[in-house]
Amino acid sequence: MLKILANDGLDSIASDCLSEKGHTIDTTHFDPEPLKEVIGDYDVIIVRSATTLDQTTLDAALQPGSKLKLIIRAGVGLDNIDVDYATAKGLGVRNTPNSSSTSVAELALGHMFNLARHIHLSNITIRKGEWNKKHYNGIQLYGRTLGIIGFGRIGQEIAAKAHALGMNILYYQRSGPKASHEDFKFVDLDTLLKESDFITLHTPSNPDGRAILDAETIQKIKKGAYVINTARGSLIDYDALLDALDSGHLSGAGLDVYTEEPPLNPRLTQHPKISMTPHIGASTEEAQRGIGAEVCDVITQYFMP
């Protein structure tokens, strides 16, 4: 039977499933240095976004006598794991790509509605006794153009939902167009930036940590557009984003992810043009149940093919 460390917690569905199979589940959270001391005691480690498995941590799991065989990211992105190094050393690396796409796509749309109709701001001011009805003249999403950077599962999910709302869909991804999506138009990045009323990011972090939307690319964005990021904080230079919001070049931003979590910069957290959530893209009952079931299936298939 396996000894499994769920370092960032685990849904009860996965815990129950794995326990029924006789495996031992440890949900203790270890910070980076203590994790290095214990990681080799487990056959499997399951992480979310809070735990980074870099080369130094993996080296600790590769010492003589280590039991570790499999790393699972309970989510889509794998950029907090040094996948190349882990696989080169014989460790299995898996994720759960099928369960959270709808939840993340819906959150991105939620931020778009928030910004278009000033919901994020009016919800606060009305609680303060302010009746600022004339201040909150918004826009419709219908007829607007949505630019999607990254067209994997989540990008395609939000494209379908936004298209059903009457939005025009542009998308860009490095690997080129997807032939099966004739309703959505593939364009280069510059075209997407110049023509989109809303831009949403659904791509992994760049390996070198470089932002996709930095000071230079943000200036290419259509004046008055909105930017949504429910993917990775490193994809946007937030200082450049704040400058663009302050200057009026951008009308607003919807953020669920940050370069530091929780975000501590008051210029960011107090900005009236930003709709913010605390990294809750996959925080729905449905997504967590699905992720838990996928985790159980991954472990079962890996050790009992």
Domains of the chain: 3-98+285-303 (3.40.50.720), 101-276 (3.40.50.720)
Q: What's the average model confidence in pLDDT over 180-196?
A: 92
Each residue's pLDDT tens digit, 2-20: 999 999 988 888 888 899 9
Residues 255, 229 contacting (CB under 8 angstroms): yes
The alpha carbon of 11 is separated from its chain's Cα centroid by a whole number of angstroms, namely 18
In this prediction the pTM is 0.88
The total of other beta-carbon atoms located within 10 Å of residue 235's CB is 24
Instruction: Quote the percentage of the chain above a pLDDT of 90.
Output: 81
CA distance from start to end of the chain: 15
75 φ, ψ (degrees, to nearest 5) = 160, -165
The two beta strands, 24-26 and 3-6, are: parallel
**For the segment 175-184, what is each residue's pLDDT rounded down to a tens digit?**
888 777 778 9
Q: CB of 18 within 8 A of CB of 293?
A: no
Work out the mean pLDDT of the chain and round it to a whole number. 94
Which residues are annotated as catalytic? Answer: 232, 261, 279
Is 305 a residue whose pLDDT tops 70? no
* DSSP for residue 32: H
